[in-house]
A and B are shown apart, each in its own frame.
Chain A
Amino acid sequence: MFDINEFIASINANAVKNSIEVFLPSFQRVIKFKPVSTKQYKDLYACIKDNILYNTKFIIVTYNIIKDNCLEPDILDQINIIDRAFILLALRRNILGTTVKNIDFNSNLALASTIVLPEEELLTVSNIKISTQIPTLKEVYEMEVELRGDLKEETVTIDALTENLIIGGCCKFIKKIQVEDTDLNFKAFNYKERIKLVESLPAATLNSIQNFAEKVTSLQDNITNVLNSNGTRSQFYINTDFFLAE
């Protein structure tokens, strides 16, 4: 009797054989990923109605795609958001090509091997020491799941929203906090607790974290910035639309 799971295993084996090679800056080597399946693309479609500010659904769906398709599952937790950008560019190229709304991002994929990632920084403000990091894919995913995973639409004031974006954003860039040489074991806290902790930090500390965050976001912007043939530059964004529009 025909076993559907056996056939699905054949599809999977074929996908491994036809895997996509992506050079990831933080590993300085090529990592292989299976192409996006039809079911996964359907999940991407479901992200059309998403949280505009946080892209919660998109972050969750793309994390699951990268997790399921990465042929080296052991490295998954170390993949950062810069690596993620290159993975998503490569997966998109495999599905729809490299043109998005008349912008061709093909040459941007090559940036992966030349890009220089910002070094970890140790920020010291009075007796507080903060080590920074490029957020990992897993942390960004876990944060969204914990804070907005229920996908409920909440009404918040602009001030509260700005605060959430800044403080929440800073949280992702913190690797370690030491107060008078005592490690607070920052990553042991959940994200709601981390936000509370960051809120209580001196404003100067937040500014320094934001400076580091800006280096990373400007790097992300470079990955999605294209030099057109007429010399002008165009910016595109890696969001749901990126995977649906040709």
Chain B
Amino acid sequence: MSFKLNAYLPSKKQEVLINELRYKQYRDLVKSLHNTDKKETILQYNSILKDLCPDIAEYDITFEDKLSLLLTIRNYCVSPDLKLKCNLQDGSSYSFTLPVENLLNKVKSINKSSTIVTNGITIEYSSYKVRDEYVFLNNNKDTFVNLASIIDSIKIGKTVVIFRDLTLEARIKIIQELPLAVVKTVMENVEKINRLHDTELLLIKDPNTDNTILRFSCNITFEILQKLVEFLYTESLNNIYRTLYNVVKYLGFSAEYADNITPIELQVYWMYFMQDNAKQQEQNNAVRPSGGLNMPTSTPNSELGF
């Protein structure tokens, strides 16, 4: 039986239950990042998220919500630490480690949902929606596209239009018909909220010079979202395949079973195996100081590397 995790949707201020990430899904996520068609990558991530958390189908989730779900899964099912290797200006490299929980807490605190009432028009808006993610692939900075994505609903008198029900084109058409003064008010308020969120989500500094190497603000743009997904789910494909090979060959698990447990569980089993091997090695050494059991030389390291 698998656990259910609690994940938080910042834009809805709501918790949802999310299934554990199975090794097969993890492998698909990692492989997907190697795909040259980035639209496919986005679709793959969103499809796996829907499988893991069917509840999100009810909501019009935002970039922050998606990031919160991916961070939760990464934290509980893969590894609680995010390790990044940074290349410094002097040619050396620097390993930066951050608890995923830290990022998760910051993402959870992002609140961009607001309502504006002006000129008899009520506009509810929050943040960029995951359903529009692919639209921003080609560095699309069009103001109308941005607004079409962040607006949730518009109410005039008793008539309400819910933007999630409409195509991007229809949403843009509605925005273009709105009085400019109204749209300008929305834009000014969005900028105001963005200024409040211009705090560090992720900051990496050169340990030698204290110069900033990387800074992501809490304003999660398409670019920041993609980079963070990359940071969270990039893994050597060799490592991914080697893991499955090792657990089948040395732990005797069936490939199907290994595919259906979480990467972190595989890690635990592998740790037990390594501990047993170490004990066996010690015993063998005590009996016969030279030679002994050959450790599985194909093992990349004592941990599986996630």
Instruction: Spell out A's residues near B (CB within 8 Å).
Output: 2, 4, 6-8, 10-15, 17-18, 34-42, 94-95
Contact = CB atoms under 8 A, between A and B. Distances in A.
Given A4-B166, A38-B144, A38-B176, A10 B119 contact: no
A12 B177 contact: yes
Contacts of B173: 4, 8
B156 interface: yes
Given A18-B179, A36-B180, 13 more contacts: A4-B173, A6-B159, A7-B154, A7-B156, A7-B174, A11-B121, A11-B177, A37-B176, A38-B176, A38-B180, A39-B176, A41-B180, A95-B184
Contacts of B176: 37-39, 42
Given A35-B180, A42-B176, A17 B120 contact: yes
B161 interface: yes
A40 B176 CA distance: 8
A38 B161 contact: no
A221 B189 CA distance: 37
Nearest to B176: A39
A40 B170 contact: no
| Those 6 A-B pairs whose CB atoms lie nearest each other, nearest first | A39-B176, A35-B179, A10-B156, A41-B180, A38-B183, A10-B159
A14 B175 contact: no
Interface in B14-38: none
Given A4-B173, A38-B179, A14 B120 contact: yes
A2 B165 CA distance: 9
Nearest to A35: B179
Nearest to B169: A4
B174 A14 contact: no
Taking each of B120, B170, B177, B178, which has the highest tally of chain A beta carbons within 10 Å of its own beta carbon? B177
Contact of A4 (B121, B157, B174): B174
Contacts of A40: 180
A10 B157 contact: yes
Contacts of B180: 35-38, 40-41, 95
B2 to A, nearest CB: 39
A7 B121 CA distance: 12
A8 B177 contact: yes
Nearest to A12: B177
B134 to A, nearest CB: 22
A11 B156 CA distance: 7
Contacts of A38: 144, 175-180, 183
